[in-house]
């Protein structure tokens, strides 16, 4: 987010059926979807408020409570992704911008802060309960496994090698996935921070990868915390 402005630039990703996801272009990972562009922007307003509360809780600067936030649509791309089903393949013009050191450090730290919120409630859960707690139709284990799998796959878009051996335990897979993300980005050479590559018909850049990784951590982490709330209700 720009220090001298409270304008929030947004990119819209619209699927074939009109379902749309609104992505914050300067606040990587902050996104919300709806059955139409208007619905997505309405949902984004609530998600943005959640993000700002999260950032404030970890000590990041946020606009004052009485600030007027101006959400502006800077890009609108219509594609083939089944947005309503959770798919996303958009690459905005903003994603083509080269990452700098501060952005990488901020993004990696935010990934760690989001993971810390999840692990705070997860570490005390017996392994067997991962199959009995649900978030919608998914078990908690499936949510966590999908988070680890999706992060590994997204990271591979930067050229990261597949794991030689996948850890057998769910929490170990989560830990390994995040460790690989941190390793890949903290060691990303300056000359590669603006790379643009085409893989299987999709355009990828380091900024887009970070945006996707944070979105996965936010959305699937939130789903996992919903499942964990069931356990607290019965304690």
CATH, residue 148: 1.20.120.450
Same domain, 99 and 82: no
Cα gap 181→210, rounded to integer Å: 9
Residue 160: per-residue pLDDT: 81
Q: Is residue 1 part of a domain?
A: no
Q: What is the pLDDT of residue 2?
A: 44
Of 49, 69, 89, which residue is a domain's last? 89
Tens-digit pLDDT profile for residues 38-85: 999 999 999 999 999 999 999 998 998 888 899 999 999 999 999 999
Describe the strand order of the beta sheet including 31-34 as a list of residue ranges.
31-34, 20-24, 7-14, 70-78
Considering the domain architecture, whether residues 51 and 133 belong to the same structural domain is answered as no
The answer to whether 8 and 70 are in contact (CB under 8 A) is: yes
The CA distance from 222 to 210, in Å, is 18
Which CATH number covers residue 49?
3.30.160
Any domain includes 124: yes
Asked whether the beta carbons of 23 and 37 are under 8 A apart, the reply is no
58 and 163 inside one domain: no
Q: Quote the DSSP letter at residue 164.
A: S
Is 155 inside a domain boundary? yes
Parallel, antiparallel, or unpaired for β 31-34 and 20-24? antiparallel
Q: 143 and 211 share a domain?
A: yes
- Provide DSSP, 93-151: GGGGSPP-HHHHHHHHHHHHHHHHHHHHHHTTS-GGGGGT-EETTEEHHHHHHHHHHHH
Q: Mark whether 67 and 142 lie in a shared domain.
A: no
C-beta neighbour count of 201 within 10 angstroms? 7
User: Whole domain around residue 108: which residue ranges?
Assistant: 95-233
| Same domain? 116 vs 177 | yes
Structural domain total, the chain: 2
pTM of this structure: 0.93
pLDDT of amino acid 232: 67
Q: Are residues 113 and 213 in the same domain?
A: yes
Given this model, what pLDDT does residue 233 score?
63
CA distance 84 to 21: 8
What is the predicted pLDDT for the residue at 166?
A: 79
Ranges in the chain, pLDDT < 50:
1-4
């Amino acid at each position: 987010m720009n220090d001298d402005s409270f304008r929030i630039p947004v990119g819209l990703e619209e699927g074939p059926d009109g379902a749309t996801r609104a992505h914050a272009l300067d606040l990587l990972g902050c996104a919300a979807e709806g059955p139409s562009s208007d619905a997505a922007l309405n949902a984004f307003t609530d998600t943005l408020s959640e993000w700002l509360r999260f950032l404030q809780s970890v000590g990041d600067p946020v606009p004052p409570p009485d600030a007027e936030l101006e959400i502006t649509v800077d890009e609108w791309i219509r594609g083939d992704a089944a947005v309503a089903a959770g798919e996303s393949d958009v690459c905005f013009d903003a994603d083509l911008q080269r990452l700098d050191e501060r952005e990488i450090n901020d993004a990696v730290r935010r990934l760690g802060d989001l993971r810390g919120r999840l692990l705070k409630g997860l570490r005390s859960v017996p392994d067997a309960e991962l199959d009995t707690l649900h978030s919608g139709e998914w078990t908690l284990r499936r949510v966590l496994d999908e988070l680890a799998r999706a992060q590994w796959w997204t990271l591979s878009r930067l050229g990261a090698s597949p794991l030689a051996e996948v850890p057998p335990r769910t929490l170990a897979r989560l830990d390994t996935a995040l460790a690989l993300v941190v390793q890949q980005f903290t060691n990303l050479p300056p000359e590669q921070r603006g790379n643009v590559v085409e893989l299987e018909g999709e355009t990828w850049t380091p900024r887009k990868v970070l945006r996707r990784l944070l979105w996965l951590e936010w959305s699937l982490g939130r789903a996992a915390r919903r499942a964990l709330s069931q356990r607290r209700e019965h304690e």
